[in-house]
Structure 1
C-alpha cells in the first residue's frame, strides 16, 4: 500500500529546506569573518577567505565551505519545490562550495607565515575552477529568481555586482581594492540568498 504525503507535510518539508537558505550565508560569513580577524597573519585586505583553509586551523574554513554548500544545495531543492525555476544554478553554486571545500585553496601573499604564493597546485586549480563555476551558477540564479521572488531589480543588481566583484578581484592582482570589492560581493549575495529564502518560506502555504 502506497501512502501519499499530505499537502501540509509537503509544505513543511519545503519550508525546512528553504530554512537552510536563510542560514547558509550568515554561517559562511560569520565563521569567515571570525577567522579573518583572529587568525595570525591573515589580512582581510590582502587575503581571500578561501585561503583560511591553510594552516593548522584550516579545517575550520574547509568545514565552513562544505557545510554552507550543503545548506545551499538543500535550499536549492526547496526553491525547486516552491517555484521551480532557478534551482539548478543555485544548486550548482552549492556543489561548487562543497568541491572548493574538499580541494584546498593555495596559500600565498604571506599567509600562512612564510608563504610566497608563487606556485599553483592541482588542488588549488580545482578549488578555483569549482568556485568559478559555482559563482556563475549563483549569478544566473539571481536573474532567474528575480521575478518569482518579487525582487526583480534588486536581484539583478546583486547578480551583476557579484560577477563584477569577482572579476575585479582577479583583475586587481591581489590589491586591497579587489579583495575588498569581492568581499562586498560575497556579503551581498549571502544577504540576497537569505532574503529569497525568507520570501519563499513565507509564500509556502
Structure 2
C-alpha cells in the first residue's frame, strides 16, 4: 500500500467513524440526561446545561471527522460523477456541525431540568447562529444524498442509489416536519438527519474498502 492510498483510507476512516460517534454519544445522553424528552427537545438542546459540554464536543468532533473525511472522499471519488460535489458537501456538513456546536441553542421547554415549560421568551444571538448553522448543514446533507444517488446510478448500483436518495428525502421531511411545528418534530428531525449521517459514513466505509 503506497502512502497516498494509506492516507486516503485513514481519511475515509474518519468519515466512517463520524456517524457512529454521533449516535452513541447522543443516545447515551438521551437515555441519561434528566428531563430530556426526544419527542419535545431537539438533540441540539443537549448542548445546554451543566453537561452541555458533552454535546458541544460531540458536534465539534463529528464535524471535524466529516471535514477530514471529505478529503478522503475527494481522493476516492476523483474523476467520477459526484466526485466533485460529494466531498464539498461533506465538508459543509462538517463545518455546519462545528458551528452548531460553538453556537448553542437556548434552554427551554423544561430542559435542562428546572427550566420553565414552553419556548424561551426570546431567541439569543447564538441560538439564531445555531439555527443558521444547522440549516446549512441540513441542506448540504440532503444534497449529498441526491448527489450520491447519481454517483451510484452511474456505477450501476441501483440499491445504493435508492438508499442515497432516500437519505436526502429523510433530511428534508424530518426538518420540514419539525419546522412546521408538527407533532414530535424533534424526533422526526433526529431520525431523518441521523439516518442520512449514518449513510454518509457507510458510503465512506464502503469506499475505504476499495481505496
Give the TM-score taking structure 2 as reference length: 0.88
1:10 corresponds to: 4
Partner of 1:3: none
Aligned pairs (5 A) from 1:13-162: 13-83=7-77, 84-85=83-84, 86-112=86-112, 113-115=114-116, 116=118, 117-149=120-152, 150=157, 151-162=160-171
Distance 1:62 1:17 in 2: 22
Query: What RMSD over aligned residues (CA atoms) do the two structures have, in Å?
Result: 1.4
Q: Supply the distance in 2 between the matched residues of 1:202 and 1:60 (Cα, whole angstroms).
A: 32
State the shift of 1:159 in Å: 0.3
Residue 179 of structure 1: how far off its partner (Å)? 1.8
Contact 1:108-1:118 at 8 Å conserved across structures = no
1:37-72 Cα deviation digits (max 9, x unpaired): 111111111100100111100000000000000001
TM-superposed CA distance for 1:194, in Å, is 2.0
Q: Which runs of 4+ in 1 moved over 6 A?
A: none
Mapped contact 1:54–1:104 kept (Cα < 8 A): yes
How many pairs are equivalent? 196
Unaligned runs of 5+ in 2: 78-82
Deviation at 1:164, TM superposition (A): 1.0
SS at structure 2 position matched to 1:45: coil
Q: 2:190 aligns with which of 156, 180, 183?
A: 183
Kindly indicate whether the alpha-carbon contact (under 8 Å) linking 1:72 and 1:90 is maintained by their aligned counterparts in 2: yes
The gaps in structure 1 that reach 5 residues or longer are 1-6
* Whole-angstrom distance in 1 between the partners of 2:22 and 2:202: 15
Matches within 5 A, 1:164-203: 164-172=173-181, 175-176=183-184, 178-203=185-210
